Chains A and B, each alone.
Chain A
Amino acid sequence: MTTSPESSGLDQTVLTDEEREAVYLIGETLIPEGGSGPSADQAAVATQFIDRFFELRPDLHSGFRELLAEADLKRPREWCERLERQRPADFSTLTFVIAGAYLLSPKARGWLKYEGQVGEYQDGSPQPEYAEGGLLDPVIARGPIYRATTWTRDGTGGAAATG
């Protein structure tokens, strides 16, 4: 990603261009090029989906910016690894934002063939696994496995357990 303060045209209130550069570097570190799917940059994390992410999660905005401010952008890999080791909760926030923005991108979702939690229709129809001759047969054949009790309430209202 190459941007300059004058030319980026991106919303400076979400992230300044310097911060976007940091997102680009950290994104490419956590989700780099060369794997079977798009990298963070190829999925337009720093230029597009990070903005969408913070529209949805404004509550994570300031904490994330604080992390960017302290990131060592000369050695982003070492910085990420250190954060993961020493401050797992902050690493979790960082990766939730970057991976969250990445997975909003249709490119990333397309690579995973992930259509969201769309589910599947079902109508409670009988399932062959549960019919006679199905998978449950041996379970039923083994018979009860619960521990029986023989219990009556005694005359004084106390519990008289014998089982």
Chain B
Amino acid sequence: MPDAIEARDLTKVFGHTTAVDRVSFSVRQGEIFGFLGPNGAGKTTTTRMLTGVIPPDGGTATVLGYDMRTDPVQAKQRFGVVPETANAYTDLTAWQNLMLMGELYGLGRAHAAERASELLGVLGLLERKDQKVQAYSKGMKQRLILAMALLHEPELLFLDEPTSGLDVQSTHLILDLLRTLNQAGTTIFLTTHNMEEANRLCDRVGIIRAGQLVALDAPERLKAAIDRFHRIEVSFDREVSAGGLAALEVVHTIAREGDKWLMTVEDTDAAIQALAALAREHGAAIVALNTLAPSLDEAFLRLTGEGTS
């Protein structure tokens, strides 16, 4: 079976910034592929090149077997896109937006209407279908965009941060739908900077930083890397020497931030025990102690081998 997406040396330059720098990867048919990266890493730019919205300055994108440079229409006919910014026509109603999509994808009117009702029902928008999109909330707009992307039953779906800024309920609704679609065979390409989401949803993830693909793996390995890496924030009621803290065996790195110490540790429990012991030793009381979930950046550092210092 050919790959659903094949990116080879994709490159995009804006002025002096190389937004995407020779990125190569492939997405297999039927998988959920997560594309992770911090803000400005080049996720949206890559997605736009793959979906034929902007041309690459270098490299090739082959989607569903079509070269995006020579046969973009054929490929677009068979994939759906949920872009970074919701872009339904706000002067049209949800229903009119969906019917427009139906015509742009060449669906018959009756078929389009049937699909539209079905999707609006699943996404909880059926009662508001004749209201102008102007009056929609962010979450409603995002659900409508998803319906618009799915109307023509695409075999591949691109989503650029589909849940960013949404509440738990909308997020769940969307992620559940993605899972259902995937089980029915839809290949999914999803960008996010939410580790949690990627972990729960994706078969494989690619990590991009500053335009370069720095890791490409199953989330289990990613997860393993993160699980080895926690942060603890602690502050004492009196001065405790940095040397004493750094000498603790469980502590990886340590930094001072105001009256707080920020440290990364592998074993949270051992670290807390050690901190408590250290405090007792110095006759200091612990004023605050927080354990923080590992950040995306730490995962990056870990995965790319730059965080070993």
Are chains A and B native binding partners rather than an unrelated pairing? no
Chain A residues proximal to chain B, CB less than 8 Å: none
